[in-house]
Structure 1
């Protein structure tokens, strides 16, 4: 049976992308299938999707054999997703609400993957939330997320580059992010002003003796005043300057010159000092 084109689904329901909700719809079902394939085999797993909109990616994920739990804030899209639920039954659960208020960690006892064309206005907040906390390994097995390409580059950036900053450190210190696919503006309706990219993230073993809260506080100060030397940007962070000295890091350096490992080691020394 042929699947109704997404353009027709959107027209039939009178939908249009909401700028205030950060929506941009992808209509190309082949592209959506490629995105759904990035995490690997999903059959039998549960997928958490944020902002499914007209359900294009949702269908692609369901077609992999996964169960999908989709959180949609836009009430206009709920009838479209209800049609998908009629087709796929219990393999689709739709939650109407704000993803920032949904605890995804309790969705399943089994393997959970997060796959989403994230709304641009909340994408970074959701991403850093899924990376946060001292409990590790995380509740998710992988993240496959659409971002503005500039944000994606910041997530995978290396030290010494203009894109390298706090987001790179928080993403890379205990996970492995990569850019899995670049996506043209023309793939979206309406076309956004910027190019996009899909990142794929898998967790790795967390360094021992490091608190996520300490690392977060350290990087917030270091990159919050990134044009200043470390001796200036970190002077208000208890134990940071002492940790710099113990680690042998020149305090006249700037934050973007330190590696992820450097920040991890600084945070470890700060936590040892308080122990």
Structure 2
């Protein structure tokens, strides 16, 4: 499928506007409108939703989201060269595409969007993980978004859905799986992109849960997990020693063998340990 609307094929758009991908901006353009439409469909029924898209580039996914019926798309693009191509899309979908020229890391999307909100993006590789962590750790939960449909390098996607015992398992898996249902819904080879990256890519769909899977103070849990995985080769009784003078006793209370390593511990057990550390801190402050 070379077109999903009355607009020109993406290769023609890129040629017209001289949009060679910039490595400094983490750009790899996906030009097959078959694929961009398929990614848009992974976000679900968009007819009653506003959609935030980061790094639209020449607008392949943007067109897919609009063609799939998104109520409104907010496209945030840092590269000014892409704006004329995006303006052409806005003209083809009157009143449904808002373009913001700026840095996604500095944007407050709520100033532009009306709930319910979903996020769908072929994220620039250089800021993808940072954006995901921000979306997973808002000040209040549930978040302003219902779901995330995001493309990452396959290695990052694997880290998001990883289970205990795997090399990919770590802080990102725990952050994602504490509050979301996460799954890989598509994989794409390097040759699907222009220019081809060195690695495969994957689309991850994350649906926000109403409540976290297990109770735990988010800040304490994050600190425990970061401390554990910063020294993942060490046994937990050593890696987590800075957190408590009785860390070995707390591990046992949480049902964790002190000789285990971080990658062997499931989300539920990390949450149990975080609750015990919180209780210890409260007791010591009385």
- Structure 1 length-normalised TM: 0.95
Distance 1:109 1:259, change over 3 A: same
Q: Please, which of 59, 73, 81 is the counterpart of residue 78 of structure 2?
A: 73
- Residue 246 of structure 1 corresponds to 253
Runs in 1 of length 4+ with deviation above 6 angstroms?
none
User: SS of the residue aligned with 2:13?
Assistant: helix
Distance 1:128 1:262, change over 3 A: same
Q: Is 1:129 aligned to 2:134, yes or no?
A: yes
RMSD: 1.5
The answer as to whether partners of 1:42 and 1:64 remain within 8 angstroms in 2 is yes
- Residue 3 of structure 1 corresponds to 7
User: SS of the residue aligned with 2:36?
Assistant: helix
Question: C-alpha distance in 1, partners of 2:22/2:133?
Answer: 24
List runs of 5+ in structure 2 lacking aligned partners: none
- Residue 32 of structure 1 corresponds to 36
User: SS of the residue aligned with 2:93?
Assistant: helix
The more displaced of 242-251 and 33-42 is 242-251
The answer as to whether partners of 1:24 and 1:191 remain within 8 angstroms in 2 is yes
Distance 1:28 1:166, change over 3 A: same
The more displaced of 226-235 and 79-88 is 79-88
For residue 270 of structure 1, report the CA deviation from its aligned partner. 1.7
For residue 106 of structure 1, report the CA deviation from its aligned partner. 4.4
- Structure 2 length-normalised TM: 0.92
- Residue 280 of structure 2 corresponds to 273
List runs of 5+ in structure 1 lacking aligned partners: none
- Residue 259 of structure 1 corresponds to 266
5 Å matches for 1:202-221? Answer: 202-204=207-209, 205-207=211-213, 209-221=215-227
Q: Is 1:188 aligned to 2:193, yes or no?
A: yes
Question: C-alpha distance in 2, partners of 1:274/1:235?
Answer: 15
Distance 1:90 1:243, change over 3 A: farther
